[in-house]
Amino acid sequence: MKKTKLLALSFQKVEEFVALLGWKPYRAKQILSWIYERHAACFEEMTDLSKADRLLLDARAELRHLEVITRLRSVDGTEKFLFGLEDGRQIESVLIPDEERLTLCISSQAGCTLDCTFCLTAQEGLKRNLKSDEIINQVLTIQGLLPVGKRVTNIVLMGMGEPLANLPQVTEAIIKMISPIGLGLSPRRVTISTAGLVPQILALWQGPVPVNLSISLNATTNALRDQIMPKVNRLYPLEKLMSACRSFPLPARRRITFEYVLFSGINDSLEDAGRLVQLTKGIRCKINLIPYNPYPGSPYRRTPDDQMILFQNFLLKARLITTIRKSRGGDILAACGQLSSLSHDQSCASTN
Ligand code: SF4
């Protein structure tokens, strides 16, 4: 008999599975608590179930964390994990400690459907969408490897892939992140980052998971965005994207984050900053400037720090909330735009 994958089931389906075994409903809560609160990686760990019940579960169901192929640690404490999936595909997640926060950046696709020219993942093309259990299992596996008392505090879907191109599976995984019987994270601590798929942005806003939204903008004219993010900008050019952002009534106290990766001599002039102010007028938003992290063979260079500060000051003077993201994990190719299952050999080489 084929075993039931518990991580692939909704909470309600776990209850139905428990009922099929002839057990009382409270058993579902017990099992879910072991999986999501105590990060059990197998039924043997569920010590408040009898030995016979654990054996029955083991015969009928499957509970497994992802296979860790490599785990690389940056000098700044950032860690990059390469996971092997059942079909042999590989995906990456990045764990970023920052004072009290422990942010986990996870993948939503193996490869990516889009072709952003600054991104290493794009070079792989799309292999396939991840299933909801493969998305949530990145969190469970890494949480299970952390020392007792340490917890992932924030999750960003900003790893490999375009999360909104896999919205049904991403939504299922997020429900498990924010539900009190799942990981119990506040929706404010979960962020989806998109290249700008307009219909899916609207679907997300109208859907059941009120998480933060980050939009990767990176250019202030269609001509330049066509070069930097060709596929998405041809589908949804800037006017469509910004008009969707402008028209949607954001929930109270929420802001859209616009991510803007700075490329030296390409999109980092004060004219670009001026256009950015105009583009975002009327949208409750903040700007996150991201220093570019080149990978070997990358066509772009990083903007010098003094130019970044000038760019930031221009936006601040225009009363735009603007931060510069700390660049983390660059020495292990774990920084933004550097994720790829192809990159681990290069990462190992670069840290040697
Ligand atoms: S930046 Fe994001 S959306 Fe663009 S190719 Fe890379 S992974 Fe895909």
- pLDDT tens readout for residues 183-203: 999 999 999 999 999 999 999
Q: So what's the pLDDT on residue 71?
A: 96
Mean model confidence pLDDT for the chain: 92
116 lines ligand 1 (CB under 6 A): yes
122 lines ligand 1 (CB under 6 A): yes
Options 116, 119, 285, 336, the catalytic residue: 336
Which portions of the chain are predicted below pLDDT 70?
A: 330-352
- pLDDT tens readout for residues 265-277: 999 999 999 999 9
> Is-contact 24 83, C-beta < 8 A?
no
Annotated catalytic residue 92: yes
pTM of the model: 0.92
Instruction: Give me ligand 1 centre to Cα 193, in Å.
Output: 10
110 lines ligand 1 (CB under 6 A): no
∠ CA(216), CA(218), CA(224), 5° rounding? 130
Instruction: List every span in the chain annotated with CATH 1.10.150.530.
Output: 4-62
120 lines ligand 1 (CB under 6 A): no
134 lines ligand 1 (CB under 6 A): no
In this structure, which residue's CA is closest to atom 4 in ligand 1?
A: 116
CB environment 107-125: b (16+ within 10 A), e (fewer): bbbbbbbbbbebbbbbebe
Annotated catalytic residue 15: no
Instruction: List every span in the chain annotated with CATH 3.20.20.70.
Output: 67-351
The CATH number of domain 4-62 is 3.40.50.720: no
Spatial separation of the C-alpha atoms in residues 151 and 158, rounded to whole Å: 19
Q: So what's the pLDDT on residue 208?
A: 86
CATH number of this structure's domain 67-351 = 3.20.20.70
Q: So what's the pLDDT on residue 181?
A: 94
